Amino acid sequence: MADYRTLDAIDANGKTALVRVDLNVPMQDGKVSDFTRIERISGTIRELTEKGATVVLLSHFGRPKGQVVPEMSLAPVAKAMAAHLNMSVAFADDCTGDIATQAIANTDRGNIILLENVRFYPGEEKNDTNFAKSLATLGDFFVNDAFSCSHRAHASTEAITKELPAFAGRNMEAELTALEKALGAPKRPVMAIVGGAKISSKLDLLFNLVEKVDSLVIGGGMANTFLNAKGINVGASLCEHDLAGTASEILEKAEKIGCEVLLQDDAVLAKEFKADAPNRAAVVNDIAADEMMLDIGPKSAALLKDKLKVCKTLIWNGPLGAFEISPFGVGTFSLAKEAARLTRESDLISVAGGGDTVAALAKAGVSSDFTYISTAGGAFLEWMEGKELPGVKALSV
């Protein structure tokens, strides 16, 4: 992993810190409904204010496509953030120009101000140099604490690093450290669990992981395509039949390299995709034409838990079944609880990421027991795919 400068290298006293954060938080009835991303950046904010810096926060919210969309203003987020962190957070109605400059000038040293949505300007997503320069005039140095936004080369994540000294915030540092432990130089054996509906969205990930891990568990709807590639009739299950050949390529590559691919031997079957639908557990060779696989079966769950016991590192992206609908989350939850137990009681390093995965672990009640849970979606996936993230690369020294 490339070297990058952290907050340890900053003399922040009396200076203005321009900090890119990810406040693209979920809202319900005009109020923030999940404070995870706000809590993750609090360490960087508090450290900089305690060092005597004025903290100017940059973020996007939604997809306004370079236009001012009042419903996508960050003003409600500033209020929620102030209340949740018990800190004073001012708000500026613009992220550049005279309004932003004056608002920052009116902010006392050691305080915080959140600027308006950077995506209200088309220059943000175009990685426009002039827009980056206008942002850079607002601070003395730049801190990127938004790993979740760093897979995009945007003005507030990439171009701005050419205008100001750039550093990694504590949240960014934690993400990079956790991912390096999981994929860069992991303790072996390494198991990866990849689930979700379709393999078409995770082809790069699967091809990369078979080169990096010792065992690869494929679950969820995507497992059906692999079972189909092995000649198993998957009934009415979700299946990308046109990708059976690609699935076979992944299996062949894994076998050649020596990566063990684990697919379910049994599954929980139902004829209807709804809560508490009549269901049965059966081996995958015994699926009727009108039945769907909606979860891994009990025998497969037990086998995976046994396999997990000998692992030193676990990387998890995607659920093993339709966990949102009872009772089809049993397999995902049981494996999650076992991973949590091994993390607590032994030396398992467990790293998870992706929206559905985070939701599943929360529903299983084990979020706090994993070594690290990434709040990043696309950035987490692209890192696991072995791709270089522009916002991270820009911090390299």
The CA-based dihedral angle spanning residues 134, 139, 141, 147, taken in that order and rounded to the nearest 10 degrees: -70
pLDDT tens per residue across span 23-49: 999 999 989 998 999 999 999 999 999
CA 182 to chain centre: 14
Predicted TM-score (pTM) of the model is 0.91
The catalytic position among 378, 386, 387, 393 is 378
User: 7-173: which CATH architecture?
Assistant: 3-Layer(aba) Sandwich (3.40)
Q: Does 380 have pLDDT greater than 70?
A: yes
Domain 186-384 classified CATH 3.40.50.1260?
A: yes
The share of the chain scoring above pLDDT 70, in percent, equals 99
For 239-297, what is the HEC assignment?
Answer: CCHHHHHHHHHHHHHHHHHCCEEECCCEEEEECCCCCCCCEEEEECCCCCCCCEEEEEC
- Give the pLDDT band of residue 1 (cuts 50, 70, 90): low
Q: How many residues does the chain have?
A: 397
Domain segments of the chain: what residues? 7-173, 186-384
In the block, tokens 């568990």 appear at 217
Q: Does residue 112 register a pLDDT over 80?
A: yes
pLDDT digits (tens, 9 = 90+) for 313-371: 999 999 999 999 999 999 999 999 999 999 999 999 999 998 899 999 999 999 999 99
Reported as a pLDDT band with limits 50, 70 and 90, residue 2 is low
| In the chain, beta strands by DSSP E | 16-20, 27-28, 31-32, 54-58, 89-91, 112-114, 141-144, 166-168, 190-194, 215-218, 260-262, 266-270, 279-283, 292-296, 313-317, 349-353, 372-374
Closest CA to 219 of 363, 311, 322: 322
Q: Residue 397's pLDDT is what?
A: 84
**Percent of the chain as helix, strand, coil, to the nearest 5:** 45, 20, 40
Over residues 293-322, the pLDDT tens digits come to 999 999 999 999 999 999 999 999 999 999
Angle at 33 between CA 82 and CA 327, to 5 degrees: 150
Going by C-alpha positions, the residue among 394, 384, 395, 387 that lies closest to residue 180 is 384
Cα-based angle 71, 72, 76 (whole degrees, multiple of 5): 85
- Topology match between the domains 7-173 and 186-384: yes
Q: Which of 37, 40, 119, 170 is catalytic?
A: 37
In percent, how much of the chain has pLDDT > 90?
94
Residue 346 makes CB contacts below 8 A (sequence gap 6+) with none
Q: Is 126 a catalytic residue?
A: no
pLDDT for the residue 382: 92
Partnered with residue 19 across adjacent β-strands are 57, 143
Residue 248 has pLDDT above 70, yes or no: yes
Give the C-alpha separation, 372 to 352, whole Å: 7
273-285 pLDDT, tens per residue?
999 999 999 999 9
Q: 256 falls in which pLDDT band (50, 70, 90)?
A: very high
Catalytic hit among 198, 271, 305, 363: 198
Is the pLDDT at 138 greater than 80? The verdict is: yes
> Quick check: is 202 catalytic?
no
- From 43, 62, 66, 355, the catalytic residue: 355
Residue-level pLDDT at 171: 97
Distance in angstroms (rounded) separating the CA atoms of residues 170 and 140:
18
Any idea which of 15-24, 26-35, 124-133 has the lowest mean pLDDT?
Answer: 26-35
What integer is the mean pLDDT of 211-220?
97
Give SS3 for 385: coil
